[in-house]
Structure 1
Amino acid sequence: MQLADLLSPDCTKCAVEGASKKRLLETISQIAAPKLVGITRHDIFESLLNRERLGSTGIGLGIAIPHGRLANATQPVAVLITLDAPIEFDAIDNQPVDIIFALLVPESEHENHLQTLATVARRMNDKVCTRALRHADSDQDLYTIFVNEDDDGSCN
């Protein structure tokens, strides 16, 4: 699956005010809800929060990949956010987070969910890509950096 198939420009936000992990999950829910017919912001928030209760999705190096499965979703939806200032996220390296890629998938798409998470994690492991994301100065710039990739999957 191509990253552009998951992420749309209207679900990409640059320099968002984060405040707290809970507030950030609420923001993600608000951004994603219009893309998921019949699913409320509350449903999305609860899915993300329940997953965080199992263990933080902060993967280290200032990056978090919160994700959740939704029973009534018919398609996957992603949200990409950079924060104006890093926030505590209980990441595995105990470092604050400033890049967040959230993924919401239909409950029945377990295998696709795992493959997509692996793809996103590889992308976020690319230091050139994360540096470019951190320096993006608009929503559109952030989107373009994330979805445009070289043949090897790295940022171009």
Structure 2
Amino acid sequence: MQLSDLLSPDCTKCAVEGASKKRLLETISAIAAPKLVGITKHDIFESLINRERLGSTGIGLGIAIPHGRLANATQPVAVLMTLEQPIEFDAIDNQPVDIVFALLVPESEHENHLNTLATVAKRMNNKECTRSLRDAHSDQELYTMFVSEDQAPECN
């Protein structure tokens, strides 16, 4: 599955204010909820927070990939954000986070979930890609940089 199949421009936000990890997960939930028929912001938030209780999804280098599975979801949805100011996220390297890629998938799509997480982690491990994402000045520019092979080959 292509990341552009999961991420839409309206789920891509540049320079978001994220005062805390909890507030950020609430924001992700509010952005994703309209894309998931029959699933509430609260359902999404609970899925994300329950996953965080197992261990932080802050993978280091200022990046977090919060994710969760939803029993009643029929399709996967992603949310990409850069933050105006880095926030504490209990990342594995103890560094604050300023790039967040959230992934929500149907509970039955375990293998796709893991493959997508691996793809995102690989992309985020590319310093040219993360530099480009941090340099984005608008939601559309951030989206284009992340999903377009033509305009952002360093991210692919």
Which interval holds the TM-score relative to the shorter structure?
A: over 0.9
d(CA) in 1 for partners of 2:107, 2:64: 21
State the Cα distance separating 1:87 from its structure 2 match.
0.1
d(CA) in 1 for partners of 2:7, 2:155: 16
TM-score, structure 2 normalization: 0.97
SS of the counterpart of 1:79? Answer: strand
Task: Please show how residues 43-58 of structure 1 align to structure 2 within 5 Å.
Answer: 43-58=43-58
Letter in 1 for 2:73: A
d(CA) in 2 for partners of 1:4, 1:104: 14
d(CA) in 2 for partners of 1:73, 1:116: 16
- Gaps in structure 1 of 5+ consecutive residues: none
| Aligned residue-pair number | 154
SS of the counterpart of 2:28? Answer: helix
1:81 counterpart residue number = 81
Task: Please show how residues 1-156 of structure 1 align to structure 2 within 5 Å.
Answer: 1-149=1-149, 154-155=154-155
d(CA) in 2 for partners of 1:3, 1:140: 15
Identity %, equivalent residues: 87
Q: Any runs of at least 4 consecutive aligned residues in structure 1 with deviations exceeding 2 A, and if so which?
A: 153-156
- Gaps in structure 2 of 5+ consecutive residues: none
State the Cα distance separating 1:155 from its structure 2 match.
2.3
State the Cα distance separating 1:148 from its structure 2 match.
1.4
Residues 44-100 of structure 1 deviation map (CA, whole Å, 9 limit, x = unaligned): 000000000000000000000000000000000000000000000000000000000
d(CA) in 2 for partners of 1:9, 1:138: 11
